[in-house]
Amino acid sequence: MTNADFEALARVILGRIFIPLEASGRHVHVTQAQAKILFGHGLTSKRPLSQPGQYLANERLTIIGPKGKLDNVAVLGPERKEAQVEISLTDGRSLGLTPPIRPSGEVSNSPGCILAGPQGQVAVQKGVIAAQRHIHITPEDAARLKVSDKQIVKFQVYTARPLIFEDVLVRVSPNFATFAHLDYDEANACGFREGDLGRILT
């Protein structure tokens, strides 16, 4: 085997044991109607994200809360049926909001905010959450790692400030690529750097 062969093999073996980490910065999901008001048109893709079909939009907006605002916030596409504003607890402090820790999509009884774009503003009644840390897993990887959708696992990260996250939500879908998602508070707490890996503890 050549060095390149060994490297490719090592990568495959690593990929069967470890899960790559990603840090999700604050971001907003909007509806088509909201995009029209905020930007004058639908979202346009700047670059694809790790999850198939998802993209970072060229459009950016401002989140306004009772105590402050966050400018130049990323918008992720495609548009959704309901707005969702995913921020860290640190961001919540700046805005004067206390986001509940929730899986994506669970926005009942969460605070609202104002979204401001270049063309207009939208008052969102609810949807401000801190995303519960989670692992996107393909059905193939889930079968091999012996985890199932909605399972809560411990997840050990091999980072500069190593730690074991508890209460990590597993989400299994054929539409996913296998990645663990942390917010920036969590990424900083573990000293995350791009390329870092973690492992589900069973």
Min. distance of Cβ 99 from a second copy in angstroms?
11
* Beta carbon of residue 41, minimum distance to a second copy (angstroms, whole number): 32
Beta carbon nearer to a second copy, 59 or 86 = 86
Residue type, 10: A
129 bridge partner residues? 86
Q: Which long-range contacts (CB under 8 A, 24 or more apart) does 183-189 make?
A: 183/23, 183/24, 183/86, 183/88, 183/130, 183/131, 183/133, 184/23, 184/24, 184/25, 184/26, 184/88, 184/90, 185/88, 185/89, 185/90, 186/23, 186/133, 187/21, 187/23, 189/161, 189/163
| Site for a second copy, rule CB under 8 A | 88-90, 101, 133, 154, 160-167, 184-186, 188-191
Closer Cβ to a second copy, 68 or 162, answer by number: 162
Residue 99 or residue 127: which is nearer to a second copy going by CB?
Answer: 99
Q: How far apart are CA 88 and CA 100, in angstroms?
A: 10
**Which residues, other chains included, contact 11 with Cβ-Cβ below 8 Å and sequence gap of 6+?**
none
Q: CB of residue 137 vs a second copy: minimum separation in angstroms?
A: 20
Q: Which is nearer to a second copy, 27 or 59 (CB)?
A: 27
Task: Report in angstroms how near the CB of residue 73 gets to a second copy at its nearest.
Answer: 15
Q: Which is nearer to a second copy, 122 or 200 (CB)?
A: 200
Give the helix ranges, DSSP H, for 111-167: 139-145
Q: What SS3 state is found at 145?
A: helix
CB of 144 to a second copy, least distance (A): 25
